[in-house]
Amino acid sequence: MAGEWAVIGGAHWVFGYGSLIYKVDFPFLQREVAAVTGWERRFWQGSHDHRGTAEAPGRVVTLVPSPGTVCKGVAYLIDESVFEHLDHREKNGYRRHEVEISLAGGGDSVAGVLYVADEDNHAFLGPAPAAEIAAHIAAASGPSGSNREYLLRLAQALRNLDAPDPHVHELAVLVEQMTGPGP
């Protein structure tokens, strides 16, 4: 099925690599541990609407191209109508991107989408030293809660998936050193 849309009654696959792993506030038909190749997570996207404010944006993950890198997450088979909710949730600089998703369950590859916030969007913050990113995350908060909670919940979700991510892990350690352990 590689390279074709896995459509079941108008449904599509969507890949979650950040809060879509642990904050599933949408209906889905199927959930699979999955991976995409050629991408890596980075806390380079500003969050003005969820984990920060317009005056003090938080930092959330996006994916950046990284040839050969495997990014593990979760794929959801969703009805087409769910895109309206996801497009609103990911509105702050994210765009849909077509990608091949490797499903862990059956070893199949399916075509699907993921949301990427690239460097051309208005909220992109870009790279910074890990200590600077960690301090930024430790201090930020918005309507969806603290930026710290977002980071630590993502780090725990990745551990639960047995999906080590050095960038996320390093930031989680630094933030916990600054603020104490736990979400």
- Residues 116, 94: Cα–Cα separation, whole Å: 5
Continuous H helices in the chain:
19-22, 82-89, 130-139, 147-160, 166-179
Q: Which residues are catalytic?
A: 90
Is 115 within 8 Å of 75 (Cβ atoms)? no
User: Residues 6 or more apart from 109 whose CB is under 8 A from it?
Assistant: 1, 2, 3, 100, 101, 102, 103
